[in-house]
């Protein structure tokens, strides 16, 4: 199944995707800390509240996660283009709930940065809490998968050896449009690609992850409890704009999308920030 968090007529709901429509789930206002695997599966479907997807405003599929973990350098070709050695432990950094955007919201270029870059990524959403989770048990803790664009302000990222100031910009990271449950998608054969103004700029498949999803869940849960609604962005393939020659950054009017087979597409217009005089 697939689910979306949305707003309609002033109310926030979680809906099960049925064709071009959403059927609300009673008692759930968003996918988040209260949305366990069981809560999502057992919620009553409000068939009388069925609404067309085109008639609602889609929110980040998890609007208010308690934690967002991001993984750097998790595809071999991306490690190669950065001229680094292959990592032996996942490169981790945080984002925050207010970093997230809806799947079709505009990406606003901040006036402070001139090097805004794209990074297509698979997002993993946690559905059962756990600490020190074994790799063999990691699948039991996954609520589902989604699509993200880890928008990065490169000139801020490389101000220091820590990346947070370039990665956790407010309202910068599209996440959605839906959460797809693990039984609905075969990630071993799923392709991932980023398209900028009709040109494919990133392409790989999820079998190429250096650190697998179970490994990431095991490593992260070693030092903190993973909770329902927590998000893990699993890294980006090669082809990022900063490493191209010439470099390729996002500009006002660009159209950028990230597509993952069987999971979904985030598609966003890029526009300049309007700074009050």
pLDDT in tens, 26-59: 999 999 999 999 999 999 999 999 999 999 999 9
The model's pLDDT over 86-142, given as tens digits with 9 standing for 90+, comes to: 899 999 999 999 999 999 999 999 999 999 999 999 999 999 999 999 999 999 999
In Å, how far from its chain's centre is CA 162? Answer: 21
The model's pLDDT over 223-262, given as tens digits with 9 standing for 90+, comes to: 999 999 999 999 999 999 999 999 999 999 999 999 999 9
Running DSSP on this structure, what letter comes out for residue 110? P
List, in sequence order, every residue forming a beta bridge with 212; answer none if it has no partner.
none
**pTM for the complete prediction?**
0.96
What is the set of domains in the chain, with CATH numbers? Answer: 2-58 (no CATH), 68-272 (3.90.850.10)
List, in sequence order, every residue forming a beta bridge with 265; answer none if it has no partner.
259
Q: Is 208 exposed, middle or buried (0-12, 13-18, 19+ CB in 10 A)?
A: middle
Q: Are 193 and 258 in contact (CB under 8 A)?
A: yes
Q: Are 270 and 255 in contact (CB under 8 A)?
A: yes
Buried b (16+ CB within 10 A) or exposed e, 48-58: eeebebeebeb
Q: Is 276 helix (H, G, I), strand (E, B) or coil?
A: coil
The model's pLDDT over 97-106, given as tens digits with 9 standing for 90+, comes to: 999 999 999 9
Q: Answer whether the bond into residue 177 is a cis peptide, omega within 30°.
A: yes
Q: Given this model, what pLDDT does residue 120 score?
A: 98
């Amino acid at each position: 199944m697939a689910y979306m968090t949305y707003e309609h007529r002033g109310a926030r709901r979680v809906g099960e995707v049925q064709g071009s429509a959403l059927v609300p789930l009673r008692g759930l206002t968003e996918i988040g800390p209260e949305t366990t695997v069981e809560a999502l599966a057992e919620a009553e479907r409000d068939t009388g509240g069925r609404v067309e997807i085109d008639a609602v405003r889609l929110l980040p599929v998890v609007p208010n996660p308690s934690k967002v973990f991001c993984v750097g350098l998790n595809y071999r070709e991306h490690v190669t283009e950065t001229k680094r050695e292959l990592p032996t432990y996942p490169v981790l950094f945080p984002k925050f709930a207010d970093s997230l955007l809806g799947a079709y919201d505009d990406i606003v270029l901040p006036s402070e940065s001139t090097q805004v870059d794209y990074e297509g990524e698979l997002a993993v959403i946690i559905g059962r809490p756990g600490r020190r989770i074994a790799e063999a048990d990691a699948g039991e803790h996954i609520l589902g998968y989604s699509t993200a664009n880890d928008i990065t302000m490169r000139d801020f990222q490389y101000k220091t050896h820590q990346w947070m100031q370039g990665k956790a910009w407010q309202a910068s990271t599209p996440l959605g449009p839906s959460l797809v449950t693990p039984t609905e998608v075969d990630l071993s054969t799923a392709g991932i690609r980023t398209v900028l103004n009709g040109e494919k700029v990133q392409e790989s498949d999820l079998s190429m992850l250096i650190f697998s999803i179970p490994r990431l869940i095991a490593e992260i849960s070693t030092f903190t409890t993973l909770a329902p609604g927590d998000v893990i962005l699993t890294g980006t393939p090669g082809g990022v704009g900063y490493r191209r020659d010439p470099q390729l950054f996002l500009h006002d009017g660009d159209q950028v999308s990230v597509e993952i087979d069987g999971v979904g597409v985030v598609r966003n217009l890029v526009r300049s920030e309007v700074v009050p005089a």
